[in-house]
Amino acid sequence: MSQALQIGVTGGIGSGKSMVCRLFSCLDIPVYSADSRAKWLTNHDPVIREKITALLGPQAYNESGIYNTAYVASLVFNNETLLKELNAIIHPVVMSDTESWVYQHSDSPYVIKEAAIMNAAGDKNTLDYVIVVEAPVSLRISRILSRDNRSEKEIRAIIERQVSDEKRREIADFTIINDETTALIPQVMKLHRSFISGKNAG
C-alpha cells in the first residue's frame, strides 16, 4: 500500500498548532502530536529515561517515576546546550515512532504531524508539505498565560529558545494566520480540499 501524503504543522508556543490540528482531526484526518508523544515516550521508554536521568539528574522524574516537566522545562528552556542534548535523546525515538504511525494510517488521504521543531519538507524528513501557524507574539503570550501555569518571563524564555518566525516562514509551504481576526476554519478547509484532491493548495 502506498503511504499517505504527510503534512507537517508547526508554529511557536501559543500560535495555535493544536487548535489547527483539532480542526483537521474533526475532518477525520489522523494527527500525530510529536510533543505529546515525546512526553509519553519519556515516561515509557527505559532507554530515554536512563539517558535523561544521566543528563539532568534523578529529579527529572518524580517519586512516582513520572517525567517532571516543570523541573526539566526550568533547566532546558534556560540553557541552549541542555535543550539540544535533550532533543538528541528524544528525537530519534520520536522519528522512528512516527514512521510506524504513518504506516498504520496508509489508507488515509493524508496525515498530519504536529511538532514544535520541524525541518523544511523534504529536508532530511518525510514530509510533503509544511504548514506554519502564525499569531502575533502578544496574543501568543496572553493565550499561554491563560492556558498554562507559566509566567510571562518563562514564556519569553521559551520563545527565545524556539526558532524565529522569520526562520519558520522559510520552511513554510503554507501559512495559517490564527490571529483571532482572520477566520480559521476556511483556511483549514481550503488546505484540506486541496490535499484531498491532490492539487497544490497554494
Ligand X SMILES: CC(C)(COP(=O)(O)OP(=O)(O)OC[C@H]1O[C@@H](n2cnc3c(N)ncnc32)[C@H](O)[C@@H]1O)[C@@H](O)C(=O)NCCC(=O)NCCS
Ligand Y SMILES: Nc1ncnc2c1ncn2[C@@H]1O[C@H](COP(=O)(O)OP(=O)(O)OP(=O)(O)O)[C@@H](O)[C@H]1O
Part in contact with ligand Y (CB under 6 A); list of ranges 17-25, 122-130, 163-171, 188-196? 17-25
Annotated ligand binding at 18? The verdict is: yes
CA–CA separation, 140 and 97 (whole Å): 29
Work out whether 145 is an interface residue with ligand Y (CB under 6 A).
no
Which three cell numbers, joined as nine digits, stand for 40? 509519553
Annotated ligand binding at 15? The verdict is: yes
Select the residue interacting with ligand X from 19, 73, 145, 171 (CB under 6 A): 73
Q: Phi/psi at 124 (nearest 5 deg)?
A: 60, 25
Work out whether 127 is an interface residue with ligand Y (CB under 6 A).
no
C-beta separation of 132 from 168 below 8 A: yes
Annotated ligand binding at 11? The verdict is: no
Which of the choices ligand X, ligand Y, none does residue 162 contact, using the CB cut-off of 5 to 8 A by kind?
Answer: ligand X
Select the residue interacting with ligand X from 48, 72, 111, 191 (CB under 6 A): 72
Annotated ligand binding at 167? The verdict is: no
What is the distance of C-alpha 202 from the center of its chain?
A: 22
- Going by C-alpha positions, the residue among 187, 201, 194, 193 that lies closest to residue 16 is 187
Smallest separation, CB 35 to ligand Y (Å): 6
Which three cell numbers, joined as nine digits, stand for 81? 546546550
